[in-house]
Amino acid sequence: GNIKCDFNFIRYIDDLTYQFTSIKLKDFIDSYYNIDIDDDKLNEKLKELVKEGFLLPVIFGGRVWNSFLIKRYS
């Protein structure tokens, strides 16, 4: 199924950190776009990406994520 990434931004600064995170996130979504993987496994992979430091629930210094969700649509 298709993977859609929904962001709810409070605010962000368009700088290198944000750009780098966006690219990493796009790569993550693209890599699983056509792969048959269940939601639990997908969320585990997402947690691994978060632990690597590319995605944080809250980023300080002007870049704040209110929420991060990956929704799959069949």
Could you tell me if 74 and 1 are in contact, meaning their C-beta atoms sit under 8 angstroms apart? Answer: yes
What total of structural domains would you count in the chain? 1
- pTM equals 0.44
d(CA 46, CA 3): 13
| pLDDT tens string 24-40 | 777 877 887 778 888 78
d(CA 36, CA 13): 35
| pLDDT tens string 32-66 | 777 888 878 887 887 777 776 655 445 445 544 43
The residue segments making up the domain with residue 34 are: 2-73
